[in-house]
Structure 1
Amino acid sequence: MQADQAVTGSLDAAARVLAFYLKAAWSVAPKVQSLAAQRDDGEMRADRPLVTEPVLFLPDARVACDEPADEALFYLASAAHAAAHLTWSTARFERGKLRPLQVALVGVLEDARVERLAVLRYPGLRQWWLTFHRTGTQGARTAPALIARLSRALLDPDYADDDGWVTKGRRLFDSAFAATHGADPAISRELGNLLGNDLGQMRVQFNAKTYAQEAAYRDDNSLVWNAEPTPIAHAPDDAPAERNATLRESPNLRELPPDAAQPPRGLAASPGEAPASAAPAEHDDETPSTVVSVARYREWDYVIRRYRSHWCRVESLRSEPGDRLLPAFIDEAVERRVRAIFRAARHRVAVGRTRAYEGDVLDLDACIMGRIDARRGMADDVKGFIVRRMRSESGPLAVLLDLSASAAGRMRCAVASS
């Protein structure tokens, strides 16, 4: 597939083609959407892709690339990289006590792991991605520059670098990848921890707030980390917000800390504002669920007349078989009503068919065979109709719960089934 023929024009025009590419080449089907061109407050970079399981957010190529680039190639490279993550980044890492530099390196190594697996499947992807790796051995000896050189070294087998740290990183990664055939995501965290320690001892400059990978097609790697709530500081003229319900996750995900929704330590409270309580909410005892994806949206604050960036947190949860339909703090009467709605939404689906003497649909094959048998002088016993076997089935159920502080005291629940 030629990049300039596959995708032309802006992202809006290319989104449909990218969706076809992801489905046909990778068997993944995230919805492709445009990422806002402006950066609100630094919480999320608007010049790098954002990968989630349900949605792939892509920035404008003119915003993401420092130098003029082929828009079609940029979108295809970004989509292929996202598909590699969705295919092989099957584990979610715990941040634990990792420093920001180590977190960045873990993401770079995970990018290299899934890209190497992708190149084994589609060798032409290497050329797509190498177009955006321009860092060479020259330049300042800073952490971002060394990380960019390591990224290129792990992708480009012909790239030569004389830096000891880059050489060590390439050697360790090649050895670990060969030993595990690239199938173990743990190598990314282990090597990221080790190489981060080495880079920290070199006293090189690193600013986690402004850091982004040089390769513009790569995302921020939020997909590979366990979802953690981001504390949001109160504006000076805000009323103290009540704490939202905390969601406990399945054993393979971290349990959110009780004070997750509180402002970070060291932030002064607004005048007259009572200190936030660290006591758990009375409805914290919920059904264990697996966090499938986390998204943040801005919300209009009519009091201060401005948008609050990433103020709304929406978590997609998947309940395990046998669990309650709704969290434990929801009244059982509400759950009974929801179950009744869901039962009423069941529909009959065709699960098979049988031949019969009477019916609404002709079975042409049976009719032809019947005419052949009649000409051969055989008994006329033709079952020339099709009767569909039907079964009552229910579809998937989505429950949207409004647990925001503004809705406290009056539970809002929307149910959708298909």
Structure 2
Amino acid sequence: MNKTKNCALAFAALGACAPEAQAQDIKLKPLIDARFRYEHVDQDGVADQSDAATLRVRSGVQASTGPWAALVESEATIGIDNHYNDGLNGRPLPLVADPQNIELNRAQLRYVDHHVTVTAGRQLLDLADQRFVGPSAWRQNEQTFDAVRVTWAGVPRLSIDATYSWSARTVNGIDGTPARPQSVPGDNWFGLASYAAPVGTLTGFAYLVDQDLASLQGFRLSSQSYGARFAGSRTIAKGWKLGYVTSFARQSDYRNNPNRYVASYYLAEASLSGKVLAATGGYEVLGADQGTALTSFQTPLASFFRFQGWASKFTTTPPNGLRDLYGTLGASWKANGPVSGYSVSATWHHFDSDRLSQHYGDEIDLLAQARIRRTTVAARLARYAADAFATDTTKVFLTLEWSLS
């Protein structure tokens, strides 16, 4: 479905409920946010360094009346300093996947009533922890989906979340190439059923990913994953909370994927947080099958920046799989005055293969951040030290982000 059809769908449906709208006020909500980011990349094996200064602006409006809401939002990314490889321009520089772009980011219609929410059109999908499906919000061009999503919570503690998506709109933007396309068609089905107990929420899930584009790895990123996730927290002392997450899934080939494979996924994570200090430790495994390319556990629709380090060395799982042992120490505190809050953190990753006992490398990620009214200022450093996979890489990020909401 193209951009025009999506917009037509949203506004035609809103117009269909005009008789009801006459009896109710139509509320308009402006949507504006902007982010400037400078990203510097120094990567061994590449003679020159990348310097990417980009500005991303999203603007739109949401109109709502009663149970109906229609939303339209544009997205534009401008390159201020273009000394980098954006994935499309072919420059012999380290990759910073933020190409210049202007496009329709979202165009959706939503209905909410009687414990049911239905969203149709181009939309964000933020499912569970975004390990399988997410908006890739770190990239300047957001990942959205042409989809219909239905959620239901008509029974206490039980919820159902089901989505059919016929197109994934990637971070590559309007100038996408066959290997890095603007969008990927396919019959994608995502389903989650959750039960919230006092000790945590148990979720069963199914992610059927259909990457129906021959130029994109020859259909080899199509997969079906079934599993469960349990997440919860509890107070263990005054001012201290213990959090815990565990997950397991099995993945195999799907639809036109010519590979035949089965791979497993495991996650175990615990966190301890107080009023200021917080610590997290975890172990995540994306398993391998026989060591053939793209037969390890893959999550092509994930929000990758949230997982396995900010150096982004593992957006495609290596043939021998990946094991990530990680830990984070952080602190955050509120303040009076124009700066309302500060946070700092340090994260360490130890990367190994799932088979053949290879040590891929280690990574340190550092963050310092401050909130100034509606603006967030952040500085990040990522340092990947390679052993048996990829090359030494240092990344520096400086970000200034502003939102109307």
Instruction: Give the TM-score category using the shorter length.
Output: under 0.3
Which of the pair has more CA radius of gyration? 1
Higher helix share: 1
Higher strand share: 2
TM-score, normalising length from structure 2?
0.26
